Chains A and B, each alone.
Chain A
Amino acid sequence: MSDSSHPLVVACDVSKSVVGPEGALDILRGVNLQILPGESFAIVGASGSGKTTLLGLLAGLDTSSSGSIHLDGHALESLDEEARADLRRRLVGFVFQSFHLLPALTAEENVMLPLELEGASDARSRARQALDAVGLTSRRRHYPAQLSGGEQQRVAIARAFVHGPRVLFADEPTGNLDQRTGHHICDLLFALNRDHHTTLVLVTHDAELAARCDRRIELEEGRVVAAGAHS
């Protein structure tokens, strides 16, 4: 299934609606998209347009109300939460706007988490390599509270790729950072994308970041209103 000509992520007529206090609310309506292996893909749109919801569906964190999503050939809607967790562990890495490092673990221990979940025996040395790659060799033993926001996000990136995922999902990875630091974080993500052929799916408000991606779609009230590619 890792044939590079087959799309890695496929969304077919995906809709999502929730029942709120004021009746049903459609968050996503008929979204179609395909993301190829090794591609960088941006989801943009106004606040409340459904970007985070879509990202969660693509990554298998949540299930769609209708339509189908395939991740590396697995139909997510046919899998239960446990099976999707297995899939995430093997294929997916995450980077969040607010980092989400565990405050009581050191940088290294945070990076080790995905490996520990797999039961890998060489977790520590691989975590060290990942931290080397994001330039935080000397901060391994530090706790998140002792790191700046940019450094925390670098730890989060190390955690996201340490187990060699095929696709990395990022929800506004630069949203909490100043421009320069954000720039640096973007460089890191694109370097990963380039060097390891890790597919990159990002949600962003940042026009510059979106512009650096191979392709992008724009959402408005849950619909794809524009799709484009850069040369």
Chain B
Amino acid sequence: MRMLWLALRSLRREWHLPELRTLAASLVLAVVALGVVATLAARIERGMLAGAAELIGGDIGVSSPQALPDNYADAARHRGLQIAHSASFPSVAFAGDQTQLLDVLAAGPRYPLRGTLQLGDAAGRSHIGQAPAPGQVYLDHRALVALNLKVGQPLQLGGRELTIAAELQRQPDGGQLLALAPRALMNLADARQAGLLDPGSRARHRLLLAGEPSAVDAWRQQVQASALPQGAQLITPEQTQERMRTSFDRAGAFLRLTALLSALLAGIAIALSAQRYARRKTAEVALLRALGTPRRQVMGLLLGTLGALAIPATALGAALALGLSQLAWLFASTLFGSAPTSLPLAPSFAAAAMGLAVLAGFALPPLARLAEVPPVAVFRQSATRKTRRFDALYLIPVLVALGLIWAQSQSLTLAGILAASLLGVAVVAALLAALMLWLARRVAPGAHPGLRLGLAALARRRTLSLIQATALSLGMCALLLLAIVAPALLQGWRQELPPDTPNWFAMNLQDDQREGFAQALEKIGGEKLNMMPLAVGKLTTINGQPIDQVHFEDERADDRADRQLRLSWADALPPSNQVIAGQWPGPHPAQAEVSVDTTWRDMFALKLGDTLRFDIGEGSIDAKITSIRKVDWSSFRVNFFLMLDPAHAGNLPHTWLASFYLPPGHADGLAQLSRDYGNLSLIDVDSLLDRVREIVDRVGNAVRWILGFSLLAGALVLAAALAASAAERQHEAALLRTLGARRAQLRVAAACEFALLGLIAGLTAALGAAGAGWWLGRAVFHIEHFMPPLVPLTLAAIAAALVVMALGLVGTRKVSRTPPMRLLREG
């Protein structure tokens, strides 16, 4: 008790010390960063768990590319379950001269069985509703805005004129986390009559069931006992959660990584502050020890002071984390569109605990050393400055860092990869910074004296400079990647496409419609029409062995093997394809041949000469692999993993996939075309790309401010380093003043020092971001000549220099006013 009081008193006396303030701020930041991200993640997850059945719209269901045989529904009815049919497909809606690609759900009368359909009327009032009646359609807000329509007005969809009966506000949607396109809900009978659900259309049929859990289970077992129709899948709540979780996990991993980076950088700031604090306390501890205070008590006092500081700081951090994540949820929930949830508290407590761990890990080593200060140090300061080659205590921060990485990634391998790459990035950043420092020293002799002094100052505190530069550059690099490189990548991706790259696709064109469609398209100004046959089927055997008996190394293979495949054929090798092994089929091969792309080769471990069997429609075809293709998937042309030879494939049941270029402003003609060919699914590539970009933008916006944490952590490292070097700086300033340095000279030197530090950090970050962008451009986006946006990156580096300079000048503004007399009085 007395100890606590002593500790509180000592904290009150020392609260003005910059290192203690920096330490507290770093702790708050670490807790906030970890807490916000963890709270958001938990909340999204909780929302997903709570609403899975509601999201599906039923207790269980089946989805299938073809209409399901009646026996599924019959079996359910037989068990007393309720049933609802629906189907979803993309389709373009027309209203006046506006067109918009929509995600359409066509629902039967009982939809939804679980969850609610929330609608808005013309006056904007909400109510719970049912699936639309024939002739009616509901559009969501985005669709209404995009088409410039209001409730009550008509629109063209699937070649029919429908009336917008309500605004679609919330709907159970089968677990789609992010809807790509705006949504519409129409009547199932309407869709069927319009031919939108014909065989070969892109529609996915769904049968949803709800009822007594035992009956649901029984139905499930019955269905699972026999094979589902080709391409069909059960829809279960678990699966829905799973799918949502994986798509969320990707975004979540990035966020957690950012939070982790911030926490670790905060840890560095804490370590620097603690070291400075320990150095300042050395004389006091030596005196206490000389006066007979036992070591235990000294340690207790130090820990008590630290604890008295840490507890309010972590509490503040946790409170801030809760507040910020509540705010963020308000913005982000529109993205995740799930049921309302309460604010989870546990993650913030966990973050507070992790913050304490960071504090313990990074602050304890120097403080523990402090307790070892011998009493004799009152006579000789140097007695405390024993340097050890290896200090086991410094393993503690490393262990804490590893533990934190492990806690954030929840997987040992992932933690290993993360730790290694984080270390790698830090080492590269440190090396780059060291190189630049060295280069700067090379050019220094001819430089302005202020610059030379600034450089000398950087070089004088080499280790500290490197730590600062590395920390700042890591924080900045993450930001630059997201803010500058990512948009440039997307744009570069788009610009790579030739201007007349097909911007529309039409699917489901029948054999006898081809000629008429081509003529009609030419009339409305369509160009570059290209049609490819399209057959859907399933891979059943490889070299005679059924694929469900083959084990594949690649996890993707099992998933692919279950799914419907799209096959096509053509006389000549399509553009943006390249045969890298074997030969493209000649005009009359003796046996059916297939050409596979490299993704497939890798996934299923295929080689030339293997024989694949595909079930297509009622029949099947055995084809030998005679070529392997490398496909440029970013070309936006129609491409296929699998291409058969035309001689053997021509008779397979198929539809046609048309791609064409329609110059902007020709959309009205397309409305007529869509009416004339009601079975077609039209896809507007431009608007699809716009959607993708919009989502990237929105996710980016949600994430960018979290990246701010890492930047802030970088700034805290700077502050901690300033606090750590303050006394030394003052001594230097006093000496230089005594030797006749003008105040302006000191300011210029400090400005140069921090500008250089910022420039080194900024350039390192820019180089890192540019390098990562270049790699992403090649490896992920396949852009031939992606040039990272060097000008904005350079500007960002210069901005970094200026900001760090400003921060540094503010942080050292007192230093240049150190009175020179100080030197005579010191030591």
B and A form one assembly: yes
Q: Which residues of A contact B (CB under 8 A)?
A: 52, 55-56, 61-62, 81-82, 85-90, 92, 94, 96-98, 100, 102, 104-105, 109, 113-114, 116-117, 119, 159, 171
For residue B693, CB closer than 8 A to chain A, the reply is: no
**Contact (Cβ within 8 A) B741 A117:** yes
| Minimum C-beta distance from A56 to chain B (A) | 5
Residues of B within 8 A of A52 (CB): 824-825
The complex places the Cα of A109 from the Cα of B151 at a distance, in Å, of: 80
B contact residues, total (Cβ < 8 Å): 28
The complex places the Cα of A37 from the Cα of B456 at a distance, in Å, of: 36
| Minimum C-beta distance from A228 to chain B (A) | 25
A sample of 17 more A-B contacts (CB under 8 A), given A82-B744, A171-B824, is A52-B824, A56-B821, A61-B820, A61-B821, A62-B819, A86-B740, A94-B738, A97-B827, A98-B826, A100-B731, A102-B732, A102-B735, A104-B460, A105-B460, A109-B456, A117-B736, A117-B745
| Minimum C-beta distance from A86 to chain B (A) | 7
Q: Mark B449-467, 1 if CB is under 8 A from A, else 0.
A: 1001100100111000000
The complex places the Cα of A171 from the Cα of B731 at a distance, in Å, of: 17
For residue B823, CB closer than 8 A to chain A, the reply is: yes
| Minimum C-beta distance from B688 to chain A (A) | 60
Residues of A within 8 A of B740 (CB): 85-90, 92, 114, 117
Residues of A within 8 A of B739 (CB): 88-89, 94, 113-114, 117, 159
The complex places the Cα of A197 from the Cα of B371 at a distance, in Å, of: 53
Q: From residue 469 to 524 of chain B, which have CB atoms closer than 8 A to chain A?
A: none
Nearest opposing residue in chain B for A90, CB measure: B740
Pick from B449, B731, B738, B827: contact of A61, CB below 8 A: B738
| Minimum C-beta distance from B92 to chain A (A) | 70
**Contact (Cβ within 8 A) A61 B742:** no
**Contact (Cβ within 8 A) A85 B824:** no
**Contact (Cβ within 8 A) B735 A82:** no
7 A–B pairs (Cβ distance < 8 Å), ordered by A: A85-B743, A88-B740, A89-B741, A96-B824, A98-B826, A100-B827, A171-B824
Residues of A within 8 A of B738 (CB): 61, 88, 94
The complex places the Cα of A114 from the Cα of B741 at a distance, in Å, of: 8
For residue B43, CB closer than 8 A to chain A, the reply is: no
Residues of A within 8 A of B452 (CB): 116
The complex places the Cα of A62 from the Cα of B460 at a distance, in Å, of: 29
| Minimum C-beta distance from A176 to chain B (A) | 9
For residue B205, CB closer than 8 A to chain A, the reply is: no
| Minimum C-beta distance from A45 to chain B (A) | 15
**Contact (Cβ within 8 A) B745 A81:** no
The complex places the Cα of A119 from the Cα of B741 at a distance, in Å, of: 11
Residues of B within 8 A of A92 (CB): 740
**Given the contacts A105-B460, A117-B736, A85 and B823 also touching, CB distance less than 8 Å:** no
Q: From residue 805 to 827 of chain B, which have CB atoms closer than 8 A to chain A?
A: 819-821, 823-827
**Contact (Cβ within 8 A) A100 B456:** no
A-B interface pairs (CB < 8 A), number: 73
Q: From residue 392 to 420 of chain B, which have CB atoms closer than 8 A to chain A?
A: none
Residues of B within 8 A of A116 (CB): 449, 452-453
Q: Which residues of B contact A (CB under 8 A)?
A: 449, 452-453, 456, 459-461, 731-732, 735-745, 819-821, 823-827
| Minimum C-beta distance from A177 to chain B (A) | 14
Residues of B within 8 A of A171 (CB): 824
The complex places the Cα of A96 from the Cα of B825 at a distance, in Å, of: 10
The complex places the Cα of A87 from the Cα of B452 at a distance, in Å, of: 22
- What 4 pairs between A and B have smallest CB-CB spacing? A89-B740, A104-B460, A98-B827, A88-B740
Pick from A62, A97, A104, A117: contact of B449, CB below 8 A: A117
| Minimum C-beta distance from B347 to chain A (A) | 45
**Given the contacts A82-B743, A117-B741, A119-B449, A61 and B736 also touching, CB distance less than 8 Å:** no
**Given the contacts A81-B743, A85-B740, A86-B740, A100 and B735 also touching, CB distance less than 8 Å:** yes
**Contact (Cβ within 8 A) A62 B742:** no
The complex places the Cα of A90 from the Cα of B740 at a distance, in Å, of: 8
**Contact (Cβ within 8 A) B460 A86:** no
The complex places the Cα of A81 from the Cα of B734 at a distance, in Å, of: 13
The complex places the Cα of A159 from the Cα of B824 at a distance, in Å, of: 16
Nearest opposing residue in chain A for B740, CB measure: A89
| Minimum C-beta distance from B759 to chain A (A) | 21
| Minimum C-beta distance from B747 to chain A (A) | 12
Nearest opposing residue in chain B for A89, CB measure: B740
| Minimum C-beta distance from B195 to chain A (A) | 82
**Contact (Cβ within 8 A) B736 A113:** yes
Residues of A within 8 A of B461 (CB): 104
| Minimum C-beta distance from A123 to chain B (A) | 9
Residues of B within 8 A of A89 (CB): 739-741
Residues of B within 8 A of A62 (CB): 819-821
**Contact (Cβ within 8 A) A85 B735:** no
| Minimum C-beta distance from A150 to chain B (A) | 16
| Minimum C-beta distance from B734 to chain A (A) | 8
Nearest opposing residue in chain B for A119, CB measure: B449
| Minimum C-beta distance from B745 to chain A (A) | 7
| Minimum C-beta distance from A129 to chain B (A) | 18
Nearest opposing residue in chain A for B734, CB measure: A100
| Minimum C-beta distance from A73 to chain B (A) | 18
Residues of A within 8 A of B827 (CB): 96-98, 100
The complex places the Cα of A52 from the Cα of B27 at a distance, in Å, of: 45
The complex places the Cα of A117 from the Cα of B821 at a distance, in Å, of: 19
- Most-contacted residue by chain B among A52, A56, A105, A117 (CB, 10 A): A117
**Contact (Cβ within 8 A) B824 A102:** no
| Minimum C-beta distance from A159 to chain B (A) | 8
**Contact (Cβ within 8 A) A61 B460:** no
The complex places the Cα of A119 from the Cα of B448 at a distance, in Å, of: 8
The complex places the Cα of A102 from the Cα of B823 at a distance, in Å, of: 12
| Minimum C-beta distance from B272 to chain A (A) | 17
The complex places the Cα of A96 from the Cα of B461 at a distance, in Å, of: 24
Residues of B within 8 A of A88 (CB): 738-740
**Given the contacts A82-B743, A89-B741, A100-B827, A105 and B456 also touching, CB distance less than 8 Å:** yes
Residues of B within 8 A of A114 (CB): 739-740
| Minimum C-beta distance from B355 to chain A (A) | 34
| Minimum C-beta distance from B612 to chain A (A) | 70
The complex places the Cα of A113 from the Cα of B736 at a distance, in Å, of: 8
| Minimum C-beta distance from B538 to chain A (A) | 72
**Contact (Cβ within 8 A) B741 A85:** yes
| Minimum C-beta distance from A52 to chain B (A) | 5
Residues of A within 8 A of B820 (CB): 61-62, 85
Residues of A within 8 A of B744 (CB): 82
Residues of A within 8 A of B743 (CB): 81-82, 85
- Most-contacted residue by chain A among B731, B735, B740 (CB, 10 A): B740
Nearest opposing residue in chain A for B449, CB measure: A119
Residues of B within 8 A of A102 (CB): 460, 732, 735
| Minimum C-beta distance from A91 to chain B (A) | 9
Nearest opposing residue in chain A for B448, CB measure: A119
- Most-contacted residue by chain B among A62, A113, A114 (CB, 10 A): A113
Pick from A55, A87, A113: contact of B824, CB below 8 A: A55
The complex places the Cα of A96 from the Cα of B820 at a distance, in Å, of: 13
- Most-contacted residue by chain B among A92, A104, A109 (CB, 10 A): A104
| Minimum C-beta distance from B385 to chain A (A) | 10
The complex places the Cα of A104 from the Cα of B453 at a distance, in Å, of: 13
Residues of B within 8 A of A159 (CB): 739
Nearest opposing residue in chain A for B745, CB measure: A117
**Given the contacts A85-B742, A102-B732, A96 and B456 also touching, CB distance less than 8 Å:** no
Residues of B within 8 A of A55 (CB): 824
The complex places the Cα of A7 from the Cα of B745 at a distance, in Å, of: 31
**Contact (Cβ within 8 A) A61 B826:** no
Residues of B within 8 A of A100 (CB): 731, 735, 823, 826-827
| Minimum C-beta distance from A172 to chain B (A) | 10
**Contact (Cβ within 8 A) A82 B742:** yes
**Given the contacts A88-B740, A119-B449, A56 and B824 also touching, CB distance less than 8 Å:** yes
| Minimum C-beta distance from A144 to chain B (A) | 12
The complex places the Cα of A61 from the Cα of B408 at a distance, in Å, of: 57
The complex places the Cα of A171 from the Cα of B460 at a distance, in Å, of: 27
Residues of A within 8 A of B826 (CB): 98, 100
